[in-house]
């Protein structure tokens, strides 16, 4: 038995950290998320493409790096630590969908995606309220797609959308005049959500739903992001506890705060165990993998919410300021709890995986 | 036992609501939703609303008549706070809540005449100058110094969490007149902001707004005639004023959560999940917890109405409402889905509740005005004697 | 506005405390619950009858003390503090049902109940598992009642049972040979639950269900018991924190334990506010009373579980011993959470009262 | 990363389960349900079961062969603990878990030969003598004294939380040979219980059982030849032995909760509430939390298997399983209704799960072997360096 990453993944993880610390330090994250309309750096994403991150998990036969779920978790773990903005995981998942499709359109598009020449995102969600039974909001007929999709994260930046419809998966290239979007402004300033009003020509690429493996990869990737976000947030909290003075002592010497930090650490380390075990099970294609992945996403979502929320609390007044960093991790986490299978959905998937 | 308001209090309440009918044109959330508004216009709305309230005699409700108050009890004030939830917050809220009691109980006749009326009318807006970067929970660690300069003093230092002051005219400041006496060396000054040696900077909050600010003093003049009480009495005064507002929010908090809960319930009815037993259990728990909060509030008011003064028990209400607010906002994000994350002006946002703002704002509740940790210390030490 | 009890109820509460401290100190509670088959003291219940407690809330016209819900809460509050064993609240509720019935049988029986000559208990529950839709387990026809009821607390001690059936409320006197019972042994050694196999003659007293006011009184009484149990438990915990030494200091000086105790106090005081406000609303017959009563029972149930559980924790090892007292309060609370409308049922009632 | 057992470990597991097939006649809960059993007969069952395990070589699995062990790793031991959950607990569990490592790592050749075989076989049952009434979380505060008496020592004092000893033969004791040296004044003695000056009394637990006891020493003889290590090394030895069992329960705890969860799920299926979304959410959370606990367990074992030694990280597992056990038992009381309160021998009780006992027993988990508070102190100080 061995819990440590193998050599390749250890190298992948450390080089990802080095790259992000150098190319996307938190000051840069602040600049792109606060001052650019797209909310992420095109330059940085070009570098990510160059380094192969946009084809990370795709088969070598298709030009990908063929890194498994454990490597994916290791990479998103680092991207979470860096609070890397933008749709990198969504691009990866779009590629995963394309790589499973027949035909040249998908194959050629996939190459452009990996090269970073085109950004292709999935457009699946159709409701702003809680997922429930509702008639499909989008239809495809006679080569045209009609209806509204959203929220789509960073959808306005997409060069093409993979739109789920009752008729199947439809590829919709960005219209010449650009997308007809409504931008949705959430409490998480690092996001760029839009609703997209579709009335455009499209191409039916498949009549099958999005394969489960893609959802599982998405959940593992998101769990990795959450792990990285809470791990970094905990580091900030512990450093602050050691430096901040009150009543003539460092606040880290107060037992109530020590125990809070201990709980944060317990949740962070448990998330680490859960995320990598789930990723490993998926890589080994163990039967229990879907259950373990659902458990990992649900648990890390709650854990990260606690850790990043309490980091704000431990910082006290300054934790509530834009100037200090805790809010960046907290907001990202609160958003991620609802995406890639919300906590509540993952709990249901976990039960179903157990036949309950 | 009797948790009913008196006839007079009921009368006060219905008069107030009649008056609001006639005078409150737009609710605060409508103003916030209006894209034509900005921080400046919103502040002007608050200021003019305060003027209206002043004319109608709804400010200083529980203050003595001779000092511009209405001479009623904290109960009427609590009713006012609860029933004017949807109105704009007044411009000089902190001034009236904190400085008012200091002036009434510790100031000279002359100071009262000079400051109280203009403060109530909103003609002079006040901000608070207690906290400092290194004196938050540990307020007595404050280091802003008042250096004697002839009759008067010169201020050197920095204050934070002042309610943001570009539109404030005055600040009340705790400053050190004796660096060696932790408590006895603190004095309570009233200082005009429009003078050399004062710089005000906004603090941007995680919500993106800037309701708070920092004030930097470098040789600003603090006149002796503007000292409240005696030199060295500042700490004593500050500690007492903090207690005069006990009970004023005891009805307002649960009323505010009633409003939020109503929107949450409407939301789960709209998205069709209200029949789910998990949703029912969560909503049920939130409903009853808010009702328990209200029971605590009635109890506080009843105790004060029958002459008792709630001491550290106030810590109970602070912990309860601030931590409840977090649970409620988190539940809304869970039960209402993406919609609950939207900011008030975003398409698709709920109209009656600013959840996107609430989800972040609630994080301040457990920190400001005494963190949850400090409140628990107070309960353990002063009540349980541990 | 006034939160304090009025003079009568203040006197009632203090005299109840004096009586119970004198006649039912905890050592006596231990003896009757641990060493007697019935689990309560007949002598003490005779005294309770003499002092009018068994007719506490009944109208003076029927010989009761006509104490309102606030007085009832004040009395059960003290009975909870004393961890008074036995079916005193059940006897009261049986009397409340009888007092609302027409006819001499009920009227005469009620007099015997108040005098303590007869113990009449409600037999309502029919399932050991979670309440759910199930066919009625008891039927009444041709003057005979057939079927099984239970759990009934202290049912073996009853002189007569008021049995709910689809046909109505049936009075079943204790058969000459005694009840045919199965004793149900729970983790709460202070209880005496039984299932009762009925195949006896009975008398139909009413074709109406048990009136809501009786359920509301039961919930208020139970909430009072819970308040008293947690209040006393908290006192034990705080005293112990002040006396117990570890690492050269009293353990009450450790901030983590101080904050725990603060949370226990917050829940206890909030329960006090909720219980008395609900009782007052019921006494004043305010429209919101059913909602407030449901809220009070649900909240105090959870609060008391927390307080009494953490008392065991704060006592450490000895808290887990039979010799020390915390377990007595904890067990009673865990049992009461499920009775007189379980927390889960009260939550549902609260929602319905709000029209949700 | 690789969380698979080795081929050999898988082989060990299947051999073990084959052996259990042939040798485990009745599960422990069946024995507990059997009204013919009492504390004495139940203890005999444990003792004879231990004998069987010993003959089959399943005790001291991870101990060196030369000391009667099997020379395998902690992983095989963890597998054994998980797969023998339903079997009777062995009679000398504490002796084997705590004294064993002390003998192996700190005792003389002669002492090992004298004590290890009989301890493993169950011929001699050991109980633990560390804690005292005033030395619980603060173990080093222990006051039991070992007074020199010629070559040997006489014990004066009291021990508690000894696994109940009417059927124990020996006790291992930490006693003070130097009252003034808090740590260095503690020595590790092996003492026979059957001698004058030793009195053993049961401690009744809130469950009604008496698995623990108190031992009173008044002049009991503690032979020098039965000291482990040197005089004054007792504390060092005690602290190290506590660490040798790390990981041994890492699979057993989640396996135990699998069993409890299975019964909970069966229960809500039987009572028809499994379709309720509140029940599904509660059960779902409990399921995934147990799976996360197992992930932590695998990680601990993997770390140890690849040569690492889990240090204070063990506190994580202790806090996690003990607090999870409380949540699970409380959920069962909530979801299974009255039935879950019933004791194992009561009519109507669930057959496969002793919930009535569990609801109380879980209260010990967060207290014994280092309270949750102590564990959090350890994490804060040793890991987070606060």
**Inter-chain CB proximity A347 and D284 less than 8 Å:** yes
**Inter-chain CB proximity C186 and D347 less than 8 Å:** no
Among left, alpha and beta (phi > 0; psi -120 to 50; other), residue C52 is: left
**Mean pLDDT in residue range B197-224:** 94
- Computed over every residue of chain B, the mean pLDDT equals 93
- The share of chain A scoring above pLDDT 90, in percent, equals 96
Answer whether residue B165 shows pLDDT above 70: no
**Mean pLDDT in residue range A305-309:** 98
The per-residue pLDDT for D307 is 82
**Inter-chain CB proximity C334 and D341 less than 8 Å:** yes
A36-40, A43-47, D67-71: least confident range: D67-71
Answer whether residue B277 shows pLDDT above 80: yes
- The share of chain C scoring above pLDDT 70, in percent, equals 99
**Inter-chain CB proximity C129 and D267 less than 8 Å:** yes
**Mean pLDDT in residue range C104-122:** 97
The per-residue pLDDT for D240 is 83
Q: What is the CA radius of gyration of chain D?
A: 22
Q: Which chains, if any, share at least 3 CB pairs under 8 A with chain D?
A: A, B, C
Does C306 sit behind a cis peptide bond, omega within 30 degrees of 0 on the bond before it? Answer: no
**Cβ(B162)–Cβ(A272) below 8 Å:** no
The per-residue pLDDT for D141 is 93
* Residue among D287, D373, D381 whose CB faces A350 most closely: D287
The per-residue pLDDT for B164 is 65
All residues of chain A having their beta carbon less than 8 Å from the beta carbon of residue D292 are 270-271, 273-274, 295-296, 299
- Nearest-CA distance D369 → chain B (Å): 26
**Inter-chain CB proximity D367 and C313 less than 8 Å:** yes
In whole angstroms, give the CA distance from residue D85 to residue D78: 11
Among left, alpha and beta (phi > 0; psi -120 to 50; other), residue B72 is: beta
* Residue among C266, C278, C344 whose CB faces B320 most closely: C266
**Inter-chain CB proximity C2 and B302 less than 8 Å:** yes
Instruction: Find all residues with CB under 8 Å of D221, minimum gap 6, and list them.
Output: D149, D152, D153, D154, D155, D191, D195, D197
**Inter-chain CB proximity C185 and D356 less than 8 Å:** yes
Q: Which residue of C has its CA nearest to D211?
A: C321
The per-residue pLDDT for B275 is 94
The per-residue pLDDT for D126 is 93
The per-residue pLDDT for D245 is 79
The per-residue pLDDT for A133 is 65
Instruction: Find all residues with CB under 8 Å of D145, minimum gap 6, and list them.
Output: D155, D156, D157, D175, D176, D179
Q: For B111-140, what is each residue's pLDDT tens digit?
A: 999 999 999 999 999 999 999 999 988 899
All residues of chain D having their beta carbon less than 8 Å from the beta carbon of residue C193 are 338
**Mean pLDDT in residue range A40-50:** 97
All residues of chain D having their beta carbon less than 8 Å from the beta carbon of residue C129 are 267, 270-271, 336-339
Q: Which pair of tokens denotes residue C129?
A: 């598992």
Answer whether residue B67 shows pLDDT above 60: yes
- Scanning C245-304 for CB atoms below 8 A from A yields 254-256, 258-259
Instruction: Find all residues with CB under 8 Å of A202, minimum gap 6, and list them.
Output: A140, A143, A144, A145, A163, A170, A171, A172, A173
- Nearest-CA distance B196 → chain C (Å): 46
- Is the CB of residue C352 less than 8 Å away from at least one CB of chain B? no
Told to judge if B245 belongs to the known catalytic residues of this protein, a careful annotator would answer: yes
Query: What are the phi and psi torsion angles at B219 (to 5°)?
Result: 80, 20
All residues of chain B having their beta carbon less than 8 Å from the beta carbon of residue A321 are 203-206
Strands D198-203 and B126-129: unpaired
The per-residue pLDDT for D15 is 98
**Mean pLDDT in residue range D174-179:** 96
All residues of chain C having their beta carbon less than 8 Å from the beta carbon of residue A256 are 255-256, 258-259
The per-residue pLDDT for B218 is 98
Q: For D196-243, what is each residue's pLDDT tens digit?
A: 999 999 999 999 988 889 999 999 999 999 999 999 999 999 988 877
The per-residue pLDDT for B61 is 95
Q: Averaging pLDDT over each range in C122-126, C277-281, D101-105, which range is the top one?
A: C277-281
- Is the CB of residue A249 less than 8 Å away from at least one CB of chain B? no
In whole angstroms, give the CA distance from residue B98 to residue B34: 31
In whole angstroms, give the CA distance from residue A271 to residue A283: 18
The per-residue pLDDT for D273 is 92
All residues of chain D having their beta carbon less than 8 Å from the beta carbon of residue A272 are 299
Among residues B245, B313, B317, B358, which one is catalytic? B245
- Nearest-CA distance B98 → chain A (Å): 19
| CB-facing half-sphere around the CA of B222: CA atoms within 13 A | 30
The per-residue pLDDT for B312 is 76
- Nearest-CA distance C93 → chain B (Å): 24
**Inter-chain CB proximity A132 and B273 less than 8 Å:** yes
User: Is this structure's pTM higher than 0.90?
Assistant: yes
Strands D145-149 and C120-123: unpaired
Answer whether residue A28 shows pLDDT above 80: yes
The per-residue pLDDT for B95 is 87
Longest dimension (CA), chain B: 73
Among residues D245, D289, D313, D317, which one is catalytic? D245
**Inter-chain CB proximity B1 and C4 less than 8 Å:** yes
Res. D164 pLDDT band, cuts 50 70 90 = low
Q: For C291-315, what is each residue's pLDDT tens digit?
A: 999 999 999 999 999 999 999 999 9
In whole angstroms, give the CA distance from residue C87 to residue C44: 12
* Residue among C125, C246, C322 whose CB faces D204 most closely: C322
**Inter-chain CB proximity D281 and B278 less than 8 Å:** yes
Best of D268, D271, D278 to disrupt the B interface (most B CBs within 10 Å) is D278
**Inter-chain CB proximity C127 and D204 less than 8 Å:** no
The per-residue pLDDT for A5 is 97
- Nearest-CA distance C258 → chain A (Å): 9
In whole angstroms, give the CA distance from residue B305 to residue B75: 7
Answer whether residue A235 shows pLDDT above 70: yes
The per-residue pLDDT for B306 is 85
All residues of chain C having their beta carbon less than 8 Å from the beta carbon of residue A258 are 256
- Nearest-CA distance A114 → chain B (Å): 30
Which residue is listed with tokens 């004017």? Answer: B84
Answer whether residue D43 shows pLDDT above 60: yes
The per-residue pLDDT for B144 is 97
Best of C70, C262, C303 to disrupt the B interface (most B CBs within 10 Å) is C262
3-state helix, strand, coil in chain B (%, to 5): 50, 15, 35
**Cβ(D242)–Cβ(D234) below 8 Å:** no
**Inter-chain CB proximity A182 and B334 less than 8 Å:** no
How far, in Å, are C4, D16, D189 from residue C231 at the CA level? 17, 52, 45
ipTM metric: 0.95
- Nearest-CA distance C349 → chain B (Å): 9
Answer whether residue C132 shows pLDDT above 70: no
**Mean pLDDT in residue range A283-290:** 97
The per-residue pLDDT for D308 is 79
Q: Could you count the other beta carbons within 10 Å of the beta carbon of residue D191?
A: 23
**Inter-chain CB proximity D342 and C186 less than 8 Å:** yes
**Mean pLDDT in residue range D355-383:** 94
Best of B271, B272, B274, B277 to disrupt the D interface (most D CBs within 10 Å) is B277
CA C285 to chain centre: 22
**Inter-chain CB proximity A187 and B357 less than 8 Å:** yes
All residues of chain B having their beta carbon less than 8 Å from the beta carbon of residue D281 are 278
The per-residue pLDDT for A132 is 58
- Nearest-CA distance A339 → chain C (Å): 29
Among A2, A17, A88, A3, residue whose Cα is nearest residue A231: A17
All residues of chain A having their beta carbon less than 8 Å from the beta carbon of residue B163 are none
In whole angstroms, give the CA distance from residue A90 to residue A340: 10
**Mean pLDDT in residue range A66-83:** 98
All residues of chain A having their beta carbon less than 8 Å from the beta carbon of residue C255 are 254-256
- Is the CB of residue C270 less than 8 Å away from at least one CB of chain B? yes
**Inter-chain CB proximity B276 and D277 less than 8 Å:** yes
**Cβ(D178)–Cβ(D233) below 8 Å:** no
The per-residue pLDDT for C131 is 55
Among B250, B373, B367, residue whose Cα is nearest residue B303: B250
The per-residue pLDDT for D147 is 97
Burial of A63 per CB tally in 10 Å (0-12, 13-18, 19+): middle
- Computed over every residue of chain D, the mean pLDDT equals 93
């Amino acid at each position: 038995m061995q819990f440590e990453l193998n050599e390749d993944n250890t190298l992948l993880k450390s080089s990802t950290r080095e790259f992000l610390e150098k190319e996307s330090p938190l000051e840069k994250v602040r600049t792109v998320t606060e001052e650019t309309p797209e909310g992420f750096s095109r330059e940085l994403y070009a570098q990510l493409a160059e380094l192969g991150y946009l084809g990370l998990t795709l088969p070598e036969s298709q030009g990908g790096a063929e890194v498994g779920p454990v490597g994916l978790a290791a990479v998103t773990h680092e991207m979470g630590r860096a609070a890397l903005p933008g749709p990198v995981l969504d691009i990866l998942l779009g590629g995963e969908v394309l790589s499973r499709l027949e035909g040249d359109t998908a194959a050629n598009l996939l190459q452009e995606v990996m090269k970073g020449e085109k950004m292709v995102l999935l457009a699946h969600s159709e409701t702003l309220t809680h997922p429930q039974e509702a008639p499909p909001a989008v239809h495809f007929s006679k080569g045209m797609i009609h209806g509204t999709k959203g929220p789509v994260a960073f959808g306005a930046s997409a060069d093409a959308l993979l739109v789920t419809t009752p008729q199947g998966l439809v590829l919709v290239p960005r219209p010449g005049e650009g997308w007809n979007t409504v931008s949705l402004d959430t409490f998480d300033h690092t996001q760029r959500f839009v609703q997209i009003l579709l009335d455009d020509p499209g191409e039916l690429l498949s009549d099958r739903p999005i394969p489960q493996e893609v959802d599982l990869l998405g959940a593992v990737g998101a769990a990795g992001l959450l792990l990285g976000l809470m791990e970094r947030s905990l580091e900030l909290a512990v450093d602050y506890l050691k430096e901040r003075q009150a009543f003539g002592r460092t606040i880290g010497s107060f037992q109530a705060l020590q125990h809070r930090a201990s709980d944060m650490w317990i949740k962070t380390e448990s998330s680490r165990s859960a995320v990598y075990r789930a990723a490993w099970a998926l890589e080994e294609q163990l039967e229990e993998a879907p259950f373990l992945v659902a458990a990992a996403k649900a648990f890390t979502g709650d854990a990260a919410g606690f850790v990043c929320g309490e980091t704000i609390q431990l910082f006290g007044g300054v934790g509530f300021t834009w100037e200090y960093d805790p809010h960046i991790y907290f907001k990202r986490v609160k958003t991620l709890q609802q995406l890639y299978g919300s906590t509540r959905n993952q709990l249901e998937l976990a039960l179903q995986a157990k036949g309950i | 036992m009797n948790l009913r308001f008196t006839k007079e209090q009921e009368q006060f309440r219905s008069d107030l609501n009649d008056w609001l009918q006639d005078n409150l044109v737009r609710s605060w959330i409508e103003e916030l939703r209006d894209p034509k508004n900005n921080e400046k216009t919103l502040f002007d709305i608050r200021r003019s609303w305060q003027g209206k309230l002043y004319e109608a005699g709804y400010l200083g409700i529980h203050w003595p008549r001779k000092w511009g108050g209405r001479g009623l009890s904290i109960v009427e004030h609590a009713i006012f706070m609860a029933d004017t939830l949807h109105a704009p917050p007044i411009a000089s809220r902190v001034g009236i809540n904190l400085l008012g009691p200091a002036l009434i109980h510790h100031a000279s006749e002359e100071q009262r005449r000079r400051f109280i009326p203009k403060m109530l009318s909103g003609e002079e807006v006040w901000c608070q100058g207690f906290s400092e970067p290194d004196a938050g929970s540990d307020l007595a660690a404050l280091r802003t110094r008042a250096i004697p300069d002839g009759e008067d003093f010169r201020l050197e230092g920095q204050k934070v969490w002042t309610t943001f002051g570009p539109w404030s005219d005055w600040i009340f400041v705790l400053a050190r007149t004796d660096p060696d006496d932790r408590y006895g060396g603190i004095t309570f000054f009233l200082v005009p902001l429009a003078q050399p040696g004062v710089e005000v900077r906004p603090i941007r909050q995680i919500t993106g707004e800037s309701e708070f600010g920092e004030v930097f003093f470098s040789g600003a003049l603090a006149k002796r005639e503007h000292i409240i009480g005696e030199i060295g009495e500042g700490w004593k005064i500050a500690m007492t004023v903090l207690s005069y507002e006990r009970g004023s929010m005891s009805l307002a908090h649960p009323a505010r959560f009633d409003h939020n809960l109503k929107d949450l319930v409407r939301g789960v009815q709209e998205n069709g999940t209200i029949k789910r037993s998990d949703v029912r259990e969560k909503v049920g728990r939130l409903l009853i917890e808010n009702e328990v909060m209200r029971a605590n509030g009635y109890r506080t008011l009843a105790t004060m109405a029958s002459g008792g003064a709630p001491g550290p028990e106030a810590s109970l209400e602070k912990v309860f409402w601030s931590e409840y607010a977090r649970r409620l906002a988190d539940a809304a994000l869970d039960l209402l889905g993406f919609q609950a994350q939207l900011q008030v002006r975003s398409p698709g946002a709920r109209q009656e509740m600013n959840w996107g703002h609430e989800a972040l704002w609630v994080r301040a509740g457990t920190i400001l005005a005494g963190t949850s940790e400090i409140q628990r210390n107070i309960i353990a030490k002063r009540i349980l004697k541990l």
